[in-house]
């Protein structure tokens, strides 16, 4: 009934067609993200009719993202409910609890209306996406961005440039990312998975439709970033790496990337903070317009 398997690069067109219609804002609704990060939770995919289903594993137990459907509105919701019933039987027949993640607050409301007391739900603050108005990250106007502007002004005292990532820059980006990890000394395994994801992003940038930029100061790379248009009104930043010892490198990288690639879109999704305190402080310091909270729903 359901053929779950590893994601392949050749799945791009079929998956993107479903994601384009569903038009979801969560960073996990990106073919490039799913392709690059599949090792993080040993994810599997299933193309079932015109649905795209992503299955992750947490402590060996399956958790499915709310399926993306090549239909929208009430019709899409009704067909999603029908699919969830099929998936519930498939999962529970294998002896597992049926759990669905990436459920937004709007999704949760209609699921509660339909399923009532059959469902319970929880949310992890570390999985909420930070959503910003593009205009604000581009202009950095107002008192609350005073500090960011000061850091950028300090950075601009360098002979600096921000350029598109070219094929000849890819090896330099690999080395830069490795140097960042070596300086941090992260040995918990997550660094290796992110290095793998960066490799997949960089080696397939054109095919994945990604945009990338390199920030340089005095001829030396001090940061690079990768992202893409996620849906009809949102640009998503997948990777952002910069030298922490260079004053203003991070805000300059964020600002220049937004100017170059997100000016025609209303929102920028800078993804989640994964519960990392320093990353949370950094993302909050850019003053998100809102947090896209995502729930995990268990069916009982």
Per domain, the residue ranges of the chain are 9-127, 130-271
Contacts of residue 141, Cβ cutoff 8 Å, sequence gap at least 6: none
Contact (CB, 8 A) for 201 and 32: yes
Q: For residue 76, what pLDDT is reported?
A: 75
Strand segments, DSSP code E, in the chain are 44-48, 51-58, 61-65, 68-69, 98-103, 119-123, 129-133, 160-164, 211-217, 220-229, 234-242, 267-269, 290-292, 295-299
Whole-angstrom Cα Rg for the chain: 20
Contact (CB, 8 A) for 132 and 235: no
Give the pLDDT of the chain (300 residues) as one tens digit per residue: 899 999 999 999 999 999 999 999 999 999 999 999 999 999 999 999 999 999 999 889 999 999 998 666 667 788 999 999 999 999 999 999 999 999 999 999 999 999 999 999 999 999 999 999 999 999 999 999 999 999 999 999 999 999 999 999 999 999 999 998 887 765 566 778 999 999 999 999 999 999 999 999 999 999 999 999 999 999 999 999 999 999 999 999 999 999 999 999 999 999 999 999 999 999 999 999 999 999 999 998
Between CA 203 and CA 140, with CA 233 as vertex, the angle to 5 degrees is 90
Q: Is 22 left (phi over 0), alpha (psi -120 to 50) or beta?
A: alpha
Domain topology for 130-271: Aminopeptidase (3.40.630)
**Same fold? 9-127, 130-271:** yes
Choose among 127, 133, 126, 124: nearest CA to 286: 133
- Does the domain spanning 9-127 belong to CATH 3.40.630.30? yes
Q: For residue 210, what pLDDT is reported?
A: 98
Q: For residue 77, what pLDDT is reported?
A: 83
Q: For residue 72, what pLDDT is reported?
A: 62
């Amino acid at each position: 009934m359901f053929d779950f398997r590893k994601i392949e690069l050749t799945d791009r067109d079929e998956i993107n067609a479903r994601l384009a219609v569903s038009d979801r804002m969560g960073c996990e609704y990106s073919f490039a993200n799913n392709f690059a990060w599949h090792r993080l939770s040993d994810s599997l995919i299933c193309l079932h009719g015109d649905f795209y289903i992503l299955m992750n594993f947490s402590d060996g137990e399956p958790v499915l993202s709310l399926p993306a459907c090549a239909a929208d509105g009430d019709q899409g919701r009704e067909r999603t409910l029908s699919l969830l019933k099929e998936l519930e039987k498939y999962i529970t027949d294998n002896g597992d609890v049926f759990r669905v993640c990436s459920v937004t607050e709007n999704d949760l409301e209609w699921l509660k209306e339909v399923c009532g007391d059959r469902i319970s739900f929880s949310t992890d603050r570390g999985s909420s996406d930070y959503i910003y108005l593009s205009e604000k990250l581009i202009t950095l106007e107002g008192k609350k961005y005073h500090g960011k502007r000061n850091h950028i002004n300090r950075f601009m005292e360098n002979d600096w440039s921000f350029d598109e990532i070219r094929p000849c820059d890819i090896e330099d980006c690999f080395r830069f990312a490795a140097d960042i990890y070596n300086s941090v000394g992260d040995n918990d395994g997550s660094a290796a998975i992110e290095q793998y994801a960066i490799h997949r992003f960089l080696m397939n940038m054109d095919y994945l439709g990604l945009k990338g930029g390199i920030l340089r100061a005095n001829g030396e790379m001090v940061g690079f970033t990768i992202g893409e248009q996620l849906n009809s009104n949102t640009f998503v930043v997948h990777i952002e790496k910069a030298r922490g010892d260079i004053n203003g490198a991070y805000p300059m990288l964020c600002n220049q990337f937004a100017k170059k690639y997100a000016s025609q879109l209303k929102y920028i999704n800078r993804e989640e903070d994964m519960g990392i305190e320093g990353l949370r402080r950094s993302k909050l310091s850019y003053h998100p317009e809102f947090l896209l909270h995502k729930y995990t729903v268990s069916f009982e």
